[in-house]
Structure 1
Amino acid sequence: MASDFIYLDHQATTPLAPEALAAMLPWLSGPEAPGFANPHSMHRAGRAAASAVEVAREQVAALLPKGGRVIFTSGATEAINQAIRANPRGDVACSAIEHSAVINAAVATGAALHELPVSAEGLVDPEVDLPQGVGLVAVMQVNNEIGTIQPVARLAERAHDAGALFLCDAVQGAGKIAPPEGADLIAITAHKLYGPKGIGALWVRDGVAIAPFMAGGGQESGLRSGTLSPALCAGFGAAAALAKERMDTDFQHLSGLAGLARSILHRWTVNGSEEARWPGNLNLRLDGLNFPRLLSDCRDIAFSAGSACGSGTGAPSRVLSAIGLQPAEARNSIRIGFGRYTTAQEVETACRALEAAAQAQGV
């Protein structure tokens, strides 16, 4: 990657923390050292690998509420699919701006899906009416497109009052803000908190019953069969421990970067709440903006029009439509995401380039 390339797409993925890479390397070694051993083997090397997995499990669990267990998965999508199958009644209620992983996983089970509306600020009303007979309520902690932070603690209470489980997609919030207290099921992934791709976790509150998701050798207490990667687990654990240690520092850093960006892009409108939001996410619109041209003119800056999962479809963002934007307004929007290693100089350079390119379009 060119040295002048500026990465501002941290909602899509984050760079691997050096500490996470260092934790992974011993478990990627070759025949001259036993780090490659299967953590489910009973010999000494296998037991060492298993110990590394359990250390990582504790590190990840420290980011989540007490009174639950961590099941390693291939990522948040798998965790969400496993969680939705714990639904005791069938019907699922989820926010209108929920990630497609939740919506499509619910549809795949044949569940009746009920949509909980959001305000123009991108927030679910904590007192929203829940449908009769709902078995599972799913609301994400931090929206991946517009960065709004949902009132998940109160929504979890409401779900329990209705006799339902509460699932929280905490992919964008884990390691960045306090965990979603009151949830019964929480899905997270390593690569959104400076860990490796290919590993995530499902947190399950004690007493919540879930069925095996993958049959096989019975790993992960029989709930998710398959050989675990000690390297991926160790990287996830190290990233989680670092995130917990740096949570306040990272928040202050990103708040400063967001303020700097807004001072330069002051004529752009923020999509979603300006207060109830994660500062590392700015979703902005400018009337008349041509996004493909902006992307071409600013090819040395990584930014997006929204979710990486929905890019390239040509359709207006479902999230931006849900908060009341017209198709043209949604297409006039961009998402820029800051991270732990983003510098103020990078933000200033990128935002000035974006503004200059927009002005060159005559908008």
Structure 2
Amino acid sequence: MNFDLSWILLGLPLAFVLGWLASRMDWRQMRLESQRAPKAYFKGLNYLLNEQQDQAIDAFIEAMQNDPDTAELHFALGNLFRRRGEYLRAVRVHEHLLHRADLSDADRQRAQNGLAQDYLKAGLLDRAEEALHRLEATAYETDARLALLSIYERARDWPQAAAIVRKLQASGQGDFSQRLSHYQCEQAAALANQGELEPALALLTQATQTAPTAPRPWLDLARLQHHQGATDAAWNSLLALAEQAPQALPLALPLLQDIAQASGQEAPAIALLRQRYAQTPSLDLVLALVQLQADPQGQAGQRCQQQDGTCSQGWLLRHLEQEPSLAIAHQWLATQGEHAIPPTVLQALEHASRPLMRYRCAACGFEARQHFWHCPGCQSWDSYPARRVEEL
């Protein structure tokens, strides 16, 4: 049988034409699809830049319908829902991503992190905790641990918080020893309130070893020792506080006065306060010296022998010569007697100076009459200086 070559000559052009037509149809279809999705996507970006979040969400949903496999659109939509406060819709978006079998490991971790953020913003802390634990050994591990730390602090779960800071410190994320000492002090306070003084004492002793330069463990330890009647041990703890964290000594002054009077250590206490006052004058130090009736003209540790108020006036005037202070001026005028200064003037000065005796958070500016280790406003640790508002 002879093969006719004319069929080949006729078939080649026909095959070429058919292939060209098929390629044109595929290219045209791809072009239409690529034009639809980017158009909706860029429309959403434009709305987002113009702070039109409702329209941006509609545009991203349209883009997702045209290309449902695009993970980036899901992430953008989930973030938008969370920013708008629509946390349940954000949760559904991130859960949908996690259920996709074709998602890469990096995108799966990203979706898990987004889901944890959704739960945190929604206040569902138990679900957020579970989601954050699943981020261990991922690129989001450090951020997840910090978020867990915030949850445990809000819940006052100090053992869990201590476990997290140990992990952070072990991974080289910084020195958390002072934060850990705060947790130990918090646990000790809870035990002391329950009457378990010995375990509380052991925890405070451990806290002084965890962060030797932190003032709170020494102060809390001295207070508990004084409560137990161990006056000498309490005095030694205050001496350690003065040595390790001298800037925090003003916070211990009421306790120091009680311990000094109870143990007969008034002269060493006066010497200690005079030494610290010479280094850094402060309102609390001068008022403590007035209370202990220290002689402003005598040697360190010498008590004033006069009882007519001249010792108080001497210390107050000495402080006013170094630093102007409305609170100290009020105290000095109060020593002049009612015949010299009308009571209404003293009351006005007291009213004006009272806000100046507060403590202020250096992080958020929250003011309070008492000193806080943990700011109730911004939840920062050690953000309150041991100085009054007037001295800042």
TM-score under structure 1 length normalisation: 0.23
Bigger relative contact order, structure 1 or 2 (CA pairs below 8 A, ≥6 apart): 1
TM-score under structure 2 length normalisation: 0.22
Larger helix proportion, structure 1 or 2? 2
**Pair member with larger Rg:** 2
